[in-house]
Structure 1
Amino acid sequence: MPLTPAPPAFDTAFREGLDALFAWRRDVRRFDRRALDEAGLADLLACAAQAPSVGLSQPWRFVRVREPARRAAVRAVFEASNTDALALQPEERAGLYARLKLAGLDDAPEQFAVFVEPEPEAGHGLGRATMPETVAYSAVLAIHTLWLTATARGIGVGWVSILDPGAVIRALDVPERWRLVGYLCIGYPAERSDIPELERAGWEHRRPPGDFLIER
């Protein structure tokens, strides 16, 4: 029987660094076009695969989008969805919305569509009989794990959600049963800040934890 290694000791310096990582993780909207090396990308995906998943099902499916034609198709899906989203904005916010750069699709050197297999064979159904949405939650945890890993390595991630999922599935020619969870732009950020861009732009502000705490 293999010996279990002793757990690491997370000292004060590590905890302070972890707090800084959380504070500086941003939804990046502006990238420079420097390429990422293959080893670095493999490292991000390996860390993402360590995320927790319901029943250890690992239902996430990462699709690396490299072909120019497919990227252009996704860009067109975004443009159509963004036009619709702009039309839904109230008059007092429409101008600000139009000024926001809502996608890194033009500049980010890497793009990944993250899907979930809604009925994965792995995991044997454990933990999702009454809450099947935990399969999608597992994919979200994989994205977040990748996001923190990238931030710790000076790499930015932008999550594009203004997309028609069905159109993206068709553009990327993946199984129709898959569900789109997120479309990620990945690359070196053009700027860095510990304040969310939407807060700096005046769109919204971060509220304190007490605003969301309910006790019973």
Structure 2
Amino acid sequence: MTDHNRPFSDDERAGLYRAIYERRDVRSQFRPDPIPADVLARLLSAAHHAPSVGFMQPWDFIVIDSTEVRQTVLDIFEEENRKAADNYSGERNTQYKSLKLQGILDSPINLCITCDRSRGGTHVLGRNSIVETDLFSTCLAVQNLWLAARAEGIGVGWVSILNQQKLAKTLGLPEQVYPLAYLCLGYVSEFLDQPELQARGWRTRLPIEKLVHGNGWGQPQANPELKAALKKQERN
């Protein structure tokens, strides 16, 4: 039996931070190898152990291995992706069209993590002021799964360029269930050294020291030790 009060060892702590820093949004590196059932079960269990406001646990998991269903989802993506490309012009438009933004058929399994917005009843503890906490809680389940997947050597790609109404209809979701995250899962040929959009020059990571405020928005962080530690962390 694990002692839950035991501090993490140096190796355990390093493993956690490695998963965080080496997690990637995978689109292009999927291998066809199937994910063993026990490994997938571990990932789903990790997601299910995410924190949730009022312990409402609003998530469900739809495991999709049907080529027919995935082709339908890919069709939805391609329609929405054409619309998204119109947001850019010139060189940016060309760059956008060159990006591979999904691995729906390349990955052996797709997973839709949903949010049941009625779960827990009318009055959920902690949800009185911020109704969207069910969505926030489900995002934590996504992150749990993503980090566990990285530790298992499995890549995850979030396909966000989808019409949610069409996706819900394709998956037969009840009216109160929202398809929060459509994910592609599979073993990969490699995990890139840096996020693909950063490597391709789409965006760069913002410096952390410019994002940490002190006691209010736009106020300088007055703790010199924290400022120095943040700069050191960025160099690492």
TM-score (norm 2): 0.86
Go from structure 1 to structure 2 and tell me whether the alpha carbon gap of 1:123 and 1:46 turns closer, same or farther (over 3 Å shift).
farther
- Aligned counterpart, 2:12: 14
Code of the aligned partner of 1:25 = R
- Aligned counterpart, 2:210: 211
Deviates more, 1:14-23 or 1:172-181: 14-23
- Aligned counterpart, 1:27: 25
Q: C-alpha distance in 2, partners of 1:20/1:67?
A: 33
Structure 2 residue 68 is matched with structure 1 residue 69: yes
Q: What 5-or-longer segments of structure 1 have no aligned partner?
A: none
- Number of residue pairs the alignment of both structures matches: 214
Code of the aligned partner of 2:153 = G
Task: State the identity as a percent.
Answer: 38
Task: Give 1:115 deviation, angstroms.
Answer: 1.1
- Aligned counterpart, 2:42: 43
Q: How does 1:140-179 map onto structure 2 within 5 Å?
A: 140-179=139-178
Q: What 5-or-longer segments of structure 2 have no aligned partner?
A: 217-236
Asked if 2 retains the 8 angstrom alpha-carbon contact of 1:54 and 1:123, the reply is no
Q: Tell me, what secondary structure is at the counterpart of 2:62?
A: strand
Higher RCO (C-alpha 8 Å, min separation 6): 1
Deviates more, 1:84-93 or 1:121-130: 121-130
TM-score (norm 1): 0.93
Task: Give 1:6 deviation, angstroms.
Answer: 4.8
Q: C-alpha distance in 1, partners of 2:131/2:34?
A: 38
- Aligned counterpart, 2:77: 78
Asked if 1 retains the 8 angstrom alpha-carbon contact of 2:67 and 2:105, the reply is no
Q: Tell me, what secondary structure is at the counterpart of 1:88?
A: coil
Go from structure 1 to structure 2 and tell me whether the alpha carbon gap of 1:187 and 1:10 turns closer, same or farther (over 3 Å shift).
same
Q: C-alpha distance in 1, partners of 2:52/2:121?
A: 10
Q: Tell me, what secondary structure is at the counterpart of 2:141?
A: helix
Q: Tell me, what secondary structure is at the counterpart of 2:114?
A: strand
- Aligned counterpart, 2:233: none
- Aligned counterpart, 2:189: 190
Task: Give 1:66 deviation, angstroms.
Answer: 2.4
Task: Give 1:17 deviation, angstroms.
Answer: 2.3
CA RMSD of aligned residues (A): 1.8
Go from structure 1 to structure 2 and tell me whether the alpha carbon gap of 1:18 and 1:123 turns closer, same or farther (over 3 Å shift).
farther
Q: Residue by residue, what CA displacement relative to the aligned partner does 1:44-76 show, whole Å, maximum 9, x if unpaired? A: 101111100010010011111222221111111
- Aligned counterpart, 1:202: 201
Structure 2 residue 62 is matched with structure 1 residue 55: no
Structure 2 residue 103 is matched with structure 1 residue 104: yes
